[in-house]
Structure 1
Amino acid sequence: MEAAFKKTAPITGLTFAALYLLGGYTLSKGAPEFAAESNEILTYFTDQSASIAVGALLIFVAAPFWFIFVGTIYAAIKVAEGGVGRLAVTAVASAATAAAVSIVGALCASIGAIRGGDGSLDAGAAMVYFDASTALLYTGTAVSAAAFLLAVAIASIRYDVVLPKPLGYASLVLAVVFLIPPLSMWALALGVVFMGIASVKLYGDKAGDL
């Protein structure tokens, strides 16, 4: 059982990527712009309450797969680094922070959807839930994820682990884009795709056996 888990652990990244991308798409479907009027946001939470709840649930379910996958990344980088393992520690700490912020953001959206679905949400509260969830999901998550992606990029370029080297260089640029709020939403989606690719590479490298 333990041997089978070690062998398949890297592929949890692919599972995470699929669940997170689907969850993010489902949660944000029909969402207004960030600076939308409060009544438009209230309509979103009321009319899309079921989709928002499903999207948030998918993000919650993705989280355990993410943590297992990050453990695999940590092990792969730590072995490649040897010694102190600064990149490995940076990767796992920033990945855990990004996950926590993302979960709270999805939770804010799901609470707004629950309140909107039962008719107990007013326009002012809807704006608070929406602004909080948007800021956390697409800005707060991106800031933490930038540090994670930077550590992964350096490890990939230096040691040829986690990502193929060409994507390692691309990740350096993407980490910077993560810090630009208008672009961070799309950059995050691309970053998740990169993690799906990393999952396949780590599985091929038998990183779960480390």
Structure 2
Amino acid sequence: MDSEANNYNGRLMVPARFVSEAFGYSVYYEGTRGILFVKSKDYTLDSTKITSSNVQEARVAAISLPIQYSFKSNSLAESDQKLNYTYIFAANDATRYIYDNGSVSTVVEIKDNKANAVWQFSTNGIPGYDLYTTLGGQQPSYIAEILDDHFEHFQGRYKAYYKISNGSTKSFTYQPKNYGELIQPIPLQ
């Protein structure tokens, strides 16, 4: 074990990586969203969910993939200390999204059943940085298209914002029971 087991109020706590790997699972910690991914060796991704015509289902599948980087992620993108975050999608799209933790935004593309970070930029939450200061990767040409549907967790509340056909924005609040309910269906217009 790379860290020791501890007793907390009568409960034995052991490192998740040690226990998972002892039972044949692989473990990957993604710091951007503070998510621990545990996967069995015989797991195969159901790629039909990523390409589903049900946009909500496809978006849930997209955010359930660990984000991988071809560049070094900025340390301010680490979300384990952040309580507020937002997922932003283009209308009727699950193949591209922005994950924003209030300081750094990470643009993610889904290709070949993988979530690849293509650009990280600062937002106005970082002192000394201007909006859209590149922190890693390269700004994609479609960035303006990914600003339609927002799923936000802010100060303990969940709220969805979406654009309607006349260009105005509507919203609704919700309370997810699990990670799969973070993405809600957008009302038909």
Class of the TM-score when normalised by the shorter of the 2 chains? under 0.3
How does the TM-score come out when normalised to structure 2?
A: 0.23
Structure that is richer in strand per residue:
2
TM-score, normalised with respect to structure 1: 0.22
Q: Which has the higher contact order (CA 8 A, sep 6+)?
A: 1
More helix by share: 1
